C-alpha cells in the first residue's frame, strides 16, 4: 500500500483520515449520527465488549465519523492515534486526569491558557495535586522546580498572549532525564507549523475551536499520543469522563481541517506584514511576534516551527487607555475572544481572557495592562492595515 505519510503536508491535510466510503463512494465522509450500533448476535455483542472482535458499540466509545477526524489529526501530528473531545478544556482535563494522581506535582508554563491553569490551582489542588507555573522559555526555571513527585511538564508554545516560545526539544530532554511526561498544547501553532511529537513530546493537544476548525462556529478539542500505551491510557479516562466529541461536530471540524494549510499560510502572510507595519508606527510601543527578526526567540522559532503563525500582541505608547480606544474603534477587526478563525479578532487579555489571573501572576507572565492581542485572519492585508490605521488615529 502507498505510504501516505510521505505526501506533502498540504496534500495530507486534504486527504488524511478518509478513504472513499465503499457502499456509496461519497466524496465527503458520511456522518454516522447514531448513539449506538446494533450487534449481529448476543455472541458478537459479548465479543465486542470483551475486545475479542473489533467494531463499534456506542458513540462515546467510538464512531466512524469521529475516527476520521482523529486519524487525520494523528497523521498530521505524527502520533499513533488521537482522541477528539467535546471542547479544548475536555482535552486538557483528560490529559490531567490521565497523567496526574494524588500527591503528584505538575510544572507548567506561567502564561498558560487561563482555564488550563485555573483548573489545576482550584480543582486538582483538592485531590492533592501541587503545581509550579514558571517562565518555561527559560529551561533553568523548569529544572529548579523539579521534585521527586513531579510527573507532568505541561507547556504552551507559543504561549498566550505573550507569544513567548519554549524550547520543546530542551523540555523533552529534561522530561527524559527526570521521568516526566511532556505534554504540549499546540493550539497556537497548529499542526501545520509545529509538530511537538517530532521534537520529543509525549502528548500534544489542541483546542480545535481555534485553527483546526478555523471558522469560529464549533468548539472542540483533540489529544494526540506518541505511544500506544499513552493512547490507551488517555482513551480509557476520556471514555469514563465522557468529554467525547459528537459525530456532527467531528464532521464540521474535519471540513474545517481540510483548508487548514491554506488558512494558516494566508493568515501568517497577513500577520508578518501587519507585525512589521505595527513596528513602524509612532504610536506603537512594542510588538511581540516571533516572526520579527528582532524577536528574542526568532532563532528558536526557525528551529522548531515552520513559521511564526498569525498571533500578534502589541502595546501602544498611550498604554491601557489608548489600547481600549483602539479596540473600541476598529470596524473590520472583531472585538471577541478566541482565535484562529478566518476573521481577524482583537481583544484585551488583562481584562478579558486573563481576567481571572492575579495581578502578580499576570506581571510574572508578562501580561501587561497595555497588551492587545490580535488573531490575524484571512482578509486582505490592505483592509486590515487600513482598519488598524483608522482606529489608531482615534487614540
Ligand X SMILES: *Cc1c(COP(=O)(O)O)cnc(C)c1O
- φ, ψ (nearest 5 deg) of residue 183: -115, 135
> Whole-angstrom Cα distance, residue 187 to residue 185?
6
> Whole-angstrom Cα distance, residue 106 to residue 130?
6
Q: Cβ neighbours of residue 87 under 8 Å, at least 6 residues apart?
A: 207, 209, 219, 220, 221, 243
Question: Is 202 assigned a catalytic role?
Answer: no
Name the minimum Å distance from CB 169 to ligand X: 20
Question: Is 185 assigned a catalytic role?
Answer: yes
Question: Between residues 311 and 322, which has the closer beta carbon with respect to ligand X?
Answer: 311
Name the minimum Å distance from CB 347 to ligand X: 12
Question: Between residues 151 and 206, which has the closer beta carbon with respect to ligand X?
Answer: 206
CB 221 within 8 A of CB 241: no
b/e map 165-185, b = 16+ CB within 10 Å: bbbbebbbebbeebebbbbbb
Angle made by CA atoms 71, 76, 5, in degrees to the nearest 5: 85
Name the minimum Å distance from CB 165 to ligand X: 14
Catalytic member of 210, 226, 266, 373: 210
Catalytic member of 167, 185, 202, 387: 185
Residues that bind ligand X (CB under 6 A): 87-89, 92, 113, 116, 156, 160, 185, 187-188, 207, 209-210, 219, 221
Name the minimum Å distance from CB 112 to ligand X: 8
Give strand ranges (E) for the chain.
Answer: 81-85, 105-109, 130-134, 150-156, 181-185, 203-207, 221-225, 284-288, 311-316, 334-335, 345-347, 372-375
Question: Between residues 12 and 206, which has the closer beta carbon with respect to ligand X?
Answer: 206
- Rg over alpha carbons for the chain, rounded to the nearest Å, is 21
Question: Between residues 253 and 284, which has the closer beta carbon with respect to ligand X?
Answer: 253
Catalytic member of 18, 32, 113, 261: 113
Question: Is 132 assigned a catalytic role?
Answer: no
Of 231, 228, 211, 229, the C-alpha closest to 220 is: 211
Task: State the CB neighbour count (10 A cutoff) for residue 395.
Answer: 17
Catalytic member of 7, 56, 58, 60: 60
Name the minimum Å distance from CB 66 to ligand X: 16
DSSP 127: G
Question: Between residues 63 and 116, which has the closer beta carbon with respect to ligand X?
Answer: 116
Question: Is 147 assigned a catalytic role?
Answer: no
Q: Could you tell me how many residues make up the chain? A: 395
Name the minimum Å distance from CB 193 to ligand X: 14
Question: Between residues 64 and 191, which has the closer beta carbon with respect to ligand X?
Answer: 191
Name the minimum Å distance from CB 356 to ligand X: 13
Indicate the pairing of strand 311-316 with strand 150-156.
Answer: unpaired
Question: Between residues 185 and 387, which has the closer beta carbon with respect to ligand X?
Answer: 185
For 97, 320, 335, 340, the CA distances from 369, given in Å and listed in that order, are: 33, 6, 17, 23
Residue nearest to ligand X according to CB distances in the complex:
88
C-alpha cell at 70: 482523529
Active site residues: 60, 113, 185, 210
Amino acid at each position: 500500500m502507498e505510504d501516505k505519510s510521505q505526501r506533502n503536508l498540504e496534500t495530507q491535510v486534504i486527504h488524511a483520515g478518509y478513504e472513499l466510503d465503499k457502499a456509496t463512494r461519497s466524496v465527503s465522509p458520511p456522518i454516522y449520527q447514531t448513539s449506538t450500533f446494533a450487534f449481529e448476535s448476543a455472541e458478537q455483542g459479548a465479543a465486542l465488549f470483551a475486545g475479542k472482535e473489533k467494531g463499534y458499540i456506542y458513540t462515546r466509545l467510538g464512531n466512524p465519523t469521529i475516527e476520521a477526524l482523529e486519524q487525520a489529526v494523528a497523521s498530521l501530528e505524527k502520533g499513533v492515534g488521537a482522541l477528539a473531545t467535546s471542547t479544548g478544556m475536555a482535552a486538557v482535563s483528560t490529559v490531567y486526569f490521565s497523567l496526574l494522581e494524588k500527591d503528584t506535582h505538575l510544572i507548567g508554563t506561567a502564561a498558560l491558557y487561563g482555564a488550563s491553569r485555573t483548573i489545576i490551582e482550584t480543582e486538582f489542588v483538592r485531590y492533592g495535586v501541587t503545581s509550579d507555573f514558571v517562565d518555561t522559555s527559560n529551561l533553568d526555571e523548569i529544572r529548579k522546580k523539579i521534585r521527586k513527585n513531579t510527573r507532568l511538564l505541561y507547556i504552551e508554545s507559543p504561549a498566550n498572549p505573550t507569544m513567548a516560545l519554549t524550547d520543546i526539544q530542551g523540555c523533552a530532554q529534561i522530561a527524559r532525564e527526570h521521568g516526566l511526561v511532556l505534554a504540549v498544547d499546540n493550539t497556537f501553532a497548529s499542526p501545520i507549523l509545529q509538530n511537538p511529537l517530532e521534537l520529543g513530546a509525549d502528548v500534544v493537544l489542541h483546542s480545535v475551536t481555534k485553527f483546526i476548525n478555523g471558522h469560529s462556529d464549533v468548539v472542540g478539542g483533540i489529544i494526540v499520543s506518541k505511544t500506544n500505551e499513552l493512547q490507551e491510557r488517555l482513551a480509557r479516562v476520556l471514555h469514563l469522563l465522557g468529554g467525547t466529541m459528537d459525530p456532527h461536530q467531528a464532521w464540521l471540524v474535519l471540513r474545517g481541517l481540510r483548508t487548514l494549510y491554506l488558512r494558516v499560510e494566508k493568515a501568517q502572510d497577513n500577520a508578518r506584514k501587519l507585525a512589521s507595519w505595527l513596528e513602524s508606527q509612532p504610536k506603537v510601543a512594542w510588538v511581540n511576534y516571533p516572526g520579527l527578526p528582532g524577536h528574542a526567540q526568532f532563532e528558536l522559532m526557525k528551529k522548531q516551527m515552520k513559521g511564526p503563525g498569525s498571533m500578534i500582541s502589541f502595546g501602544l505608547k498611550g498604554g491601557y487607555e489608548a489600547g481600549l480606544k483602539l479596540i473600541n474603534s476598529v470596524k473590520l477587526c472583531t472585538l471577541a475572544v478566541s482565535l484562529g478563525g478566518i476573521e481577524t479578532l482583537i481583544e484585551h487579555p488583562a481584562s478579558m481572557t486573563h481576567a481571572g489571573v492575579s495581578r502578580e501572576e499576570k506581571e510574572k507572565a508578562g501580561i501587561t495592562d497595555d497588551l492587545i492581542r490580535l488573531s490575524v485572519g484571512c482578509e486582505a492585508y490592505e483592509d486590515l492595515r487600513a482598519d488598524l490605521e483608522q482606529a489608531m488615529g482615534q487614540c
